[in-house]
Structure 1
Amino acid sequence: MKNINQFQSLDCQLGDQYDPTAKIVVSSRQEKDDYLLPRICKQIEFYLGDANLLHDNYFRRLLQENQGWIPLEAFLQCNKIKVILRNYPKGSKQQVLILIYALKRSDILEVDEDRGMVKRRIPFVDNSHFMDERTIYVENIPRVVDQQLLHQIFSRIDKQVLQVKKFDTYGFITFLNIESVNKAIQVCNNLIPKEIMEREIMIKGGLRVMSKIDWLNYKNQCKQLKQKKINELIEEPVKLKIKQIQTQDLKIEELRIAVGHAVNPRLVKHINIEADTCVIECANQFAADSIKLNIFRIQNYDDRFCNSFLDIS
């Protein structure tokens, strides 16, 4: 009789359809109200919040497929919901009922009990394509600083930090609001945050902060400049002359082998031996310098190059 009364007292969890044989672990209404339902409500509000939906393709796709509604069964596949409901039969109606009663207390979500679905009261606006505009690039980060500490530092600027990614000594922080990007640059650029100073972490010159858009532009400029220099080298062939060599037994094939050890053979356009002079037409200055260095090494063990000297024209 005691067990029957215990299950009947949990009507908020099962509604009018309670099962006396079901496995119920929460022993009192007070414990359920103070622990179970608030955790479920808070977690699902997070899943359907702007911060998560901006980079959560799964729930964003479900919103699009169901005109803003999401089946409650979808949340039962989430690891954190599984942990909260681990003591209840997996995939049962009981779990769905618990989600329904938990979400009734939400101010930002609306529940359809008949269909077992939930939606946001304020529709989600997908502006994930503006992520770069709301992201900053941070470098000179001490290696001992982890993502959690970075999140703490930049949460002072905007509590709604969407994402923090750290790689070695640099990272990216994405905010919910675009205005937070300029504020973060003003507050943190070339400064040492107090969270780092309090932990006595060594850092030289402070953090260097810029918007991700500026960083991408700078990166593209560097890439273009590098490619320009490569093109200039490729467009300016160099002739390398080796004079006073013993050409009696020297063959072009042997010289090509020597050249091949120094540089990619494709960077050598032409080799010609006349009298005591060999002319190598190189694709660029780098190829000429590499071949020149290799010829100096050959002189130590090949008499045909012993008394020769190099000239780059």
Structure 2
Amino acid sequence: MDQGQGQGQGQDPYLAHRRLLFATAYRMLGSVGDAEDVLQDAWLKWSTVDRGTVDHPKAYLVRTVTNLSLNRLTSARAARETYVGPWLPEPLLTSPDIASEAEVADSVSTAMLVVLETLSPVERAVFLLREVFGYSHAEIAETLERPEATVRQIAHRARAHVQARRPRFDADPDRRRRVTDRFLAACSGGDLNAMMELLAPDVTAWSDGGGKVTAARRPLYGIDHVARWLLGFLAKPELAELRMEPAVVNGELGVLATLGGHTVGALSFDIADDRIHHLRFQVNPDKLGGLTPENGLTAL
């Protein structure tokens, strides 16, 4: 699936392929800020390279971004060992059109990014280049400077790992809209019974505050625990003016929370049989930069 189309005549290759480069870095890192930093580093490399030595600019740029992401991901993993509370990827405001493209939406969903975190950095790079962006094993081998046979083994292992762990929930847009509306109604009304009816028996909730704002330090399990914690949190006086509205986050309909005109959080969830099984709250203020229209990705 080549998402680097659209290079205009005479347009600088970096600008022509920036959407593809960001999509690659974001899926690699699960961080909007880190992805933008990688693109900045890639631009610096590109601006100093002798263009006459680059036969295939797109391949050169993808290779540069992939390897810069690998380096950053390796160091970031060490930092996450001391992270306060559950770590979740940075949410990204995406175009409503993406939600209708199941393959694209799935590859950038919060649930998938969480699964990708369980891969090694190299496995993650190989999986994304092969399964999401459609590169051949030979092209990936050249990008990562590894034997093709090794890349094939890594690709097989990574694909099996992801398939065993990837969420399999109902992604029907109409059903997701109905569940979202019911969820928001229960939240706004503080309706414990309605919330409990909406949650699946095995519901799990994660909230990422990064030690910066109030959030549960451990995952929450079960209908009663999750429902009471959520409605208790929303009932705090300082959140009386909180607004929660539907928004397409990471390719799926979720919820965007604002307070005093500022974005303060995002919610994504997995549903099956009209019930919510997984809830992921991102409220770390350092990880909300991708939730504004000017910083979000309008197309992947």
What TM-score results when the alignment is normalised by the length of structure 1?
0.22
Indicate the structure whose relative CO is greater, using CA pairs within 8 Å and at least 6 residues apart. Answer: 2
Larger Rg: 1
User: TM-score under structure 2 normalisation?
Assistant: 0.23
